[in-house]
């Protein structure tokens, strides 16, 4: 919220100020009513950090996470838009599961969950670029600017840009998501 307010103070155009004010007002209503800013929150992406001293017993951990996601989408009256077999049958699961689950083993004796509802409109704007080392920082900046320019108004606001640099293609995409949730 702070960054949105900072952006509003720095914005010079009438349209930009109007849009930012609308987003901020919507956020305040969502907080007051305890509802998401937008009910179309897509797919639950769950990042879990499991302390190496934690011992999980009974029940299936992954199944428990999916049950929690299912209940959250039902009780929160959120749009259930996940489909089974997205290529051929496209049958809505009506539960928004399975969640996308990433697990990291970390030092300690605790489990931390970070849940990122990932809207499909914003996900459709995701882009991966494989740059040459010689492209340097300028190449990275140019790629990001061009990606935002191509996305235009298509992702749902507020547009948050996640950037992952280095490693494999799948790793940088996950890093870009996790860094900004």
Cα–Cα distances in angstroms (integers) from residue 19 to residues 24, 113, 118, 136, in the given order: 9, 32, 21, 34
Specify the pLDDT at position 74.
86
Tell me how far apart the alpha carbons of residues 30 and 28 are, in angstroms, rounded to a whole number. Answer: 5
| Total domain count, the chain | 3
> Which pair of tokens denotes residue 180?
């900004």
- Name which of 14-18, 76-80, 119-123 the model is least confident about: 119-123
139 shares a domain with 174? yes
Please check the confidence at residue 181 and state whether its pLDDT lies above 70. Answer: no
Specify the pLDDT at position 71.
93
Specify the pLDDT at position 1.
66
114 shares a domain with 52? yes
113 shares a domain with 176? no
Instruction: Compute the average pLDDT of residues 106-130.
Output: 88
Specify the pLDDT at position 10.
94
Q: Sorting pLDDT into bands at 50, 70 and 90, what band is 113?
A: very high
168 shares a domain with 124? yes
For tokens 């639950």, the residue is 44
105 shares a domain with 51? yes
Q: What percent of the chain has pLDDT over 70?
A: 96
The residue range of the domain holding 2 is: 1-35
- Name which of 73-77, 97-101, 103-107, 166-170 the model is least confident about: 73-77
65 shares a domain with 16? no
Please check the confidence at residue 38 and state whether its pLDDT lies above 80. Answer: no
109 shares a domain with 164? no
Within 10 angstroms of residue 50's Cβ, the number of other Cβ atoms is: 18
129 shares a domain with 109? no
152 shares a domain with 100? no
Phi, psi of 100 (to 5 degrees): -90, 120
Length of the chain counted residue by residue: 181
Q: Contact, 177 vs 116, CB < 8 A?
A: yes
Tell me how far apart the alpha carbons of residues 96 and 41 are, in angstroms, rounded to a whole number. Answer: 10
Instruction: Compute the average pLDDT of residues 49-72.
Output: 93
142 shares a domain with 90? no
Instruction: Compute the average pLDDT of residues 127-152.
Output: 93
Specify the pLDDT at position 180.
65
179 shares a domain with 134? yes
């Amino acid at each position: 919220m702070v960054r949105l307010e900072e952006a509003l103070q720095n914005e010079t155009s009438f349209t930009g100020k109007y849009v930012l004010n609308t987003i901020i007002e919507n956020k305040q209503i969502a907080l007051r009513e305890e509802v998401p800013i937008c009910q179309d929150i897509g797919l639950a992406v769950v990042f879990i950090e499991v302390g190496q001293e934690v011992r999980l017993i009974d029940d299936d951990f992954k199944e428990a996470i999916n049950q929690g996601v299912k209940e959250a989408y039902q009780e929160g009256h959120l749009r259930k838009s996940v489909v089974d077999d997205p290529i051929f049958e496209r049958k809505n699961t009506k539960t928004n599961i399975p969640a996308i689950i990433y697990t990291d083993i970390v030092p300690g004796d605790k489990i931390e969950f970070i849940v990122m509802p990932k809207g499909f409109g914003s996900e459709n704007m995701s882009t991966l670029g494989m740059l040459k080392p010689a492209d340097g920082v300028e190449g990275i900046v140019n790629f990001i600017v061009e990606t935002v320019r191509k996305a235009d108004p298509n992702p749902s606001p507020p547009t948050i840009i996640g950037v992952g640099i280095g490693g494999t293609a799948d790793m940088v995409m996950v890093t870009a998501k996790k860094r900004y949730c």
